[in-house]
Amino acid sequence: MMDIEALRATLRTLVGEAHVLTDGDLTAYEQDWRKRERGRALAVVRPGTTEEVAAVVKACGAAGVSLVPQGGNTGMVVGSIPDASGTQVLLSLQRLNRIRAIDAANLTVTVEAGCVLQTLQEACEKDGFLFPLSLAAEGSCTIGGNLATNAGGTQVVRYGNTRELCLGLEVVTAQGEVWSGLTGLRKDNTGYDLRHLFIGSEGTLGVITAATLRMYPLPAAQLTAFAAVPSLDAAVQLLGLAHQHLNAGLTGFEVMGDFALGLVRKHFPQQNVPFGGMSPYCVVLENSDHESESHAREQFERLLEAALEQGCVLDAVVAENIAQARALWHIRESIPLAQAQEGLNIKHDISIAVSRIPAFVTEVDALLEQHFPGVRLVNYGHLGDGNLHYNVQAPDGADAEAFLRDQEGPINTLVYEVVDRFNGSISAEHGIGSLKREKLAHHKSPVALNAMRAIKGALDPKNLMNPGRVLSIE
């Protein structure tokens, strides 16, 4: 039988009294961002160095106590909070937040896991560089969480997911050893690439404590346009034109259904959302140019002229300045917040080949309307990456909690069955956590699942790292 008080006392000696929280209001650590679940921690432990993380992992291992790593707790799939048993340690990385070094010649930055994404973006910009990972939670999510979930965001079409931005990692293993892999090398074929095992592993294989990440030169200009398009097919056609006209300058291409934009109008009326009700979809797109603003503007004009001529754009505005560009992006980024204000909802974070997205949406819209009359479809996402947030809100006036309890299962089954037929993925960027664990078991090939279990068993044989997330281990 584990001695809880003895473990708490050990943890206090390891990280300091002030950094082991056991009472008071722990909501920020124990409640997930979407308010889907509330857990209870044996203790919230906040180490300040990699060595302290290693010591905490060792102490928990010796006591047979499992750990849940947590960064900004902005995850979407209930993976970053403890379960309800009160027997897990919540390991918050927030104090491990230093930017260790910027290597300008190597175009890399080495940063600790608890550094907030926006802090890193700003530090790189101050030195004349771009760190391109960008998402609406950037003011509170951390680099460790971004790596552990392989976060996507709004710049993937040009710069890739967090995985593509990472050249090296420092990790505390499930045994409490430190693996120092912060090489910053762009080429290294010395056997298995362990970095890629830990990226996207959602805290189930080890604790990421630091990373060496790619930076890019800051573009000379970043222009944003907001366009009304007559259909999803037209949005895909516009994407093709944008690739042709802007090439590597195309750094963002997001689609937003009119109902999703309607939620922003409703909950954030101070925002000026263009083209109200004029079209079923709008697109926000970004052109980053390394020559000049006038060059970027000319390119954008030529693209929009061609799109208007071909009928895939009905109307468009191009931001005149940075403030306007931010306001247009802010509309897109406000959709998940507006959706949360509207009430509990069912999220489907799916990816499908871009070319097949219009057919997928036509089919699933019709099936949902047929089988679940009145449901409200909140459709938006990273069309440039083939990633839709195809979300479902309870019918107007319905009790959202009861709706989720009764209908989430059947709705997920319907949507994911079509995702499978379209050869897609049931999690494009948010991960699996505990919310999609059962679904993963149905939608991933048995060969892949067995390989994943073998890796988990080899790296964390006692199943102490975020157990019950991603995989169920019998």
Residues near ligand FAD, by CB under 6 A: 33, 68-76, 79-80, 93, 113, 135-137, 141-142, 144-146, 148-149, 151-153, 202-203, 207-208, 336-337, 429-430, 433, 466, 469
| Residue facing ligand MLT at closest CB distance | 336
Smallest distance from ligand MLT to CB 327, Å: 17
The CA–CA distances, whole Å, from 93 to 114, 143, 166 equal 5, 10, 19
Q: In this structure, what are the phi and psi dihedrals at residue 433, rounded to the nearest 5 degrees?
A: 55, -140
Instruction: Report the distance separating Cα 403 and Cα 161, nearest Å.
Output: 33
When the beta carbons of 138 and 460 are compared against ligand MLT, the nearer one is: 138
Smallest distance from ligand FAD to CB 372, Å: 25
Smallest distance from ligand FAD to CB 147, Å: 7
When the beta carbons of 29 and 300 are compared against ligand FAD, the nearer one is: 29
Binding ligand MLT by CB under 6 A: which of 46, 158, 214, 389?
389
The CA–CA distances, whole Å, from 240 to 95, 140, 234, 307, 389 equal 44, 34, 10, 10, 21
Per-residue contact flags (x/-) with ligand MLT for residues 253 to 282, judged by CB under 6 A: ------------------------------
Q: In this structure, what are the phi and psi dihedrals at residue 284, rounded to the nearest 5 degrees?
A: -115, 130
When the beta carbons of 95 and 453 are compared against ligand FAD, the nearer one is: 95
When the beta carbons of 75 and 176 are compared against ligand FAD, the nearer one is: 75
Neighbours of 303 (CB within 10 A): 24
Residues 6+ apart with CB under 8 A from 137: 33, 72, 74, 117
User: Taking CB within 5 to 8 Å according to partner kind, which of ligand FAD, ligand MLT, none is near residue 286?
Assistant: none
Smallest distance from ligand FAD to CB 62, Å: 20
Our separate counts of H helices and E strands in the chain read 17, 19
Strand 88-92, strand 67-70: pairing: parallel
User: Taking CB within 5 to 8 Å according to partner kind, which of ligand MLT, ligand FAD, none is near residue 389?
Assistant: ligand MLT
Instruction: Report the distance separating Cα 150 and Cα 74, nearest Å.
Output: 13
Smallest distance from ligand MLT to CB 385, Å: 10
The CA–CA distances, whole Å, from 144 to 182, 203, 431 equal 14, 9, 14
Binding ligand MLT by CB under 6 A: which of 168, 203, 336, 433?
336
When the beta carbons of 48 and 145 are compared against ligand FAD, the nearer one is: 145
Residues 6+ apart with CB under 8 A from 353: 386, 422, 423, 424
User: Taking CB within 5 to 8 Å according to partner kind, which of ligand FAD, ligand MLT, none is near residue 146?
Assistant: ligand FAD
**Tokens at 427, concatenated:** 């999690």
Smallest distance from ligand MLT to CB 282, Å: 15
With tokens 């993925």, the residue in question is 425
Applying CB under 6 A, the residues found at the interface with ligand MLT are: 136, 335-336, 349, 381, 389
